[in-house]
Chains A and B, each alone.
Chain A
Amino acid sequence: MQYTLMFYLSPEEFSARTDPAKREAYWAAFMPYMKAVRDAGIFRAGAGLEPPDTATTLRLREGKRLVQDGPYADTKEQLGGLFVIEVPDLDTALDWAARYPAGPEGVVEVRPNLSASAAA
């Protein structure tokens, strides 16, 4: 089954990724995780996202585009990146989510990908 691991970051974690004083420590923890996921042969796709203040949200209302600055969800932790992995079951996916070197407020949401047969 394919699962998407969604990594939610606090504002401090977002800034740690680029802050010259913290960035080395941040990436030193993250890169081995990334490597482990790839080495396990389960990695299917992934992306890291720029901080939420770079987000733009679009709504279509009566054929009109309403474009707004900022992310869709107004929460402290925001989506900072995601992996799509291929593993046998939720428990294995959770094992991989648990290995993510999250900060003290780190959250990982794990969701099964909609299977292709659902659309058939």
Chain B
Amino acid sequence: MSENHEGERAARVHRTIEQVARDSYGRLLAFLAVRCRDVSAAEDALADAFQTALETWPRNGIPEKPEAWLLVAGRRKLIDGMRRSRIRGEAIPDLLAGTENAYEMAGESLLFPDERLKLMFVCAHPAIEAQARTPLMLQTVLGLDAARIASAFLVRPSAMGQRLTRAKSKIRVAGIRFEVPEAAQLPERLEFVLEAIYAAYGSGWDDITGADARRKGLAAEAVELARLLVQLMPDEPEPKGLLAMMLHCEARREARRTQSGSYVPLLEQDVTCWSKEMMGEAERLLCEASRRGRIGRFQLEAAIQSAHAQRARTGVTDWNAIALLYEGLVRLSPTVGALVGRAAVIAEAQGPAAGLSALELLPDAVVQTYQPYWALAGHLFKRLGRISEAQCAYSRAIGLSEEPALRRFLEAEISKSDERDSDTHLIGSSDAEGSVHHR
């Protein structure tokens, strides 16, 4: 065999393995983890299986069913590992029985049971440290590595690695159940899963300039997780609401900044830059969700975004309709983000004084370090001609901003604040415009 030929074959093996890793990592891992109730052992076994594939496939050829091959190899590694440690020997029979079946199934049709939903519920279990839940989902269900997740959450890779290791150890030692919860517990538990996806999306969304490709990637991954959830729980309306809300925001991503990277608030965005395709998909999802007749927080968030999206069609924003949706939202979920968003909308519907009164209802302790509150307060003081208070609030908002683009925007607002232009209905922050209230 010529060297060239061999090189080609190795390249084909690499492509196949990459493809399988991309398409099936989460399913393979979930399948193994559910059977041994140990995420790290399943990860190690699957990594070993991929390694063995890299070594043997160039020699023996690519198997007919690569996923099934990896599943069986992973299972074997897992059982070997458990025999050695003998700590959780009782799980072995289950593992054996389960995977024999799976191999038969995989042999027949390339299908083995999709356990990713169980894995998602385990990752978002309330017994797991809240900050670890989304990273754990991203790592296990989407197969992202700790370093990449760390950069998205702005923590050191070693810290993220430890957090993930701790979470996986908790799953194993505490004996968390790998199951989709029963109907009675489902709403509360599903809420954690949705919350985790929403937090991932929020981290991605905060990166206004899109300068950080990895954080932008996090938003895309959150959308992918939500799609998966919708696909796995087609009868639940809230996952559809969450996906619809994120798609509406994603539709406007390009319109949020100018060519030079400046921040453009929602009401100044050029609606022709919004993605019709994503808005259309969001509307379809929201419509399907609403047919279930069970309203929820994420459907309301999506409905607010949908109302904003109507401007692309009608040229105007129906502030009264949005205000009504906010009333529903704060009743179901009175987060500080939702309350500030509501105040912003009241200001648009009834004037800045009403907006300010709504804002003043929030307790001091809660808003002290909440940037969108101060950005909105600055804006409303400005519209009321209370210039020195406006400048004071704006400078607090600037001090609390993490995004350079947002800081520059607010600095520009301060310098404009002597001019008193009450015609421009700017809302000075990504959160206050009602997009993502993830904190």
A11 to B181, CA, bound (A): 36
Smallest CB separation, A91 vs chain B (Å): 4
- Scan A71-108; emit 1 where CB is below 8 A from any B CB, else 0: 00000000000000000111111100000000000000
> Is B183 engaged at the interface, CB distance under 8 Å to the other chain?
no
Neighbour of A89 across the interface among B87, B89, B177, CB < 8 A? B177
A93 to B175, CA, bound (A): 10
B173 and A112 within 8 A (CB): yes
> Is B92 engaged at the interface, CB distance under 8 Å to the other chain?
no
* Chain B residues within 8 Å of A92, by CB: 177
A12 to B52, CA, bound (A): 62
> Is A1 engaged at the interface, CB distance under 8 Å to the other chain?
yes
B interface residues (Cβ-Cβ under 8 A, vs A): 37, 86-87, 89, 127, 173-177, 179, 181
B86 and A91 within 8 A (CB): no
A112 and B86 within 8 A (CB): no
> Is chain B's interface secondary structure helix, strand, loop, or mixed overall?
loop
Q: From known contacts A112-B174, A112-B175, infer whether A90 and B127 are also in contact, taking CB-CB under 8 Å.
A: yes
B87 and A118 within 8 A (CB): yes
Neighbour of A90 across the interface among B89, B174, B181, CB < 8 A? B174
* Chain A residues within 8 Å of B175, by CB: 1, 3, 88-90, 93, 112
A-B contact pairs, 25 of them (CB 8 A): A1-B175, A3-B175, A88-B175, A88-B177, A89-B175, A89-B176, A89-B177, A90-B127, A90-B174, A90-B175, A90-B176, A90-B177, A91-B176, A91-B179, A91-B181, A92-B177, A94-B127, A111-B174, A112-B175, A115-B87, A117-B86, A117-B87, A117-B89, A118-B87, A120-B86
A112 to B87, CA, bound (A): 15
A interface residues (Cβ-Cβ under 8 A, vs B): 1, 3, 88-94, 111-112, 115, 117-118, 120
A91 and B177 within 8 A (CB): yes
* Chain A residues within 8 Å of B174, by CB: 90, 111-112
Smallest CB separation, A115 vs chain B (Å): 7
Other contacts beyond A89-B177, A91-B177, A112-B173: 9, CB < 8 A: A88-B175, A89-B175, A90-B175, A90-B176, A91-B179, A93-B175, A112-B175, A117-B89, A120-B86
Smallest CB separation, A108 vs chain B (Å): 13
* Chain B residues within 8 Å of A90, by CB: 127, 174-177
A117 to B87, CA, bound (A): 6
**Total of A-B residue pairs, C-beta within 8 Å:** 30
* Chain B residues within 8 Å of A1, by CB: 175
Smallest CB separation, A66 vs chain B (Å): 33
* Chain A residues within 8 Å of B181, by CB: 91
* CB closest chain-B residue, reference A117: B87
* Chain B residues within 8 Å of A112, by CB: 173-175
A120 to B173, CA, bound (A): 16
* Chain A residues within 8 Å of B176, by CB: 89-91
* Chain B residues within 8 Å of A91, by CB: 176-177, 179, 181
* CB closest chain-B residue, reference A2: B175
A111 to B86, CA, bound (A): 22
* CB closest chain-B residue, reference A120: B86
* Chain B residues within 8 Å of A117, by CB: 86-87, 89
* CB closest chain-A residue, reference B178: A89
* Chain A residues within 8 Å of B86, by CB: 117, 120
Smallest CB separation, B295 vs chain A (Å): 27
* CB closest chain-B residue, reference A89: B177
A117 to B127, CA, bound (A): 24
* CB closest chain-B residue, reference A91: B177
A109 to B407, CA, bound (A): 45
A111 to B174, CA, bound (A): 7
* Chain B residues within 8 Å of A111, by CB: 174
A94 to B189, CA, bound (A): 14
A94 to B176, CA, bound (A): 10
* Chain A residues within 8 Å of B87, by CB: 115, 117-118
A88 to B94, CA, bound (A): 14
* Chain A residues within 8 Å of B37, by CB: 89
Max chain A Cβ within 10 angstroms of own Cβ: one of B86, B87, B173: B173
A59 to B87, CA, bound (A): 33
Smallest CB separation, B131 vs chain A (Å): 19
A1 to B175, CA, bound (A): 8
* Chain A residues within 8 Å of B179, by CB: 91
A90 to B176, CA, bound (A): 5
A101 to B176, CA, bound (A): 24
A6 to B97, CA, bound (A): 36
A3 to B176, CA, bound (A): 12
* CB closest chain-A residue, reference B172: A112
* CB closest chain-B residue, reference A95: B185
* Chain A residues within 8 Å of B127, by CB: 90, 94
A89 to B87, CA, bound (A): 16
Smallest CB separation, A110 vs chain B (Å): 8
* Chain A residues within 8 Å of B89, by CB: 117
* CB closest chain-A residue, reference B171: A90
The 3 nearest A-B residue pairs measured at CB? A89-B177, A91-B177, A89-B175
* Chain B residues within 8 Å of A89, by CB: 37, 175-177
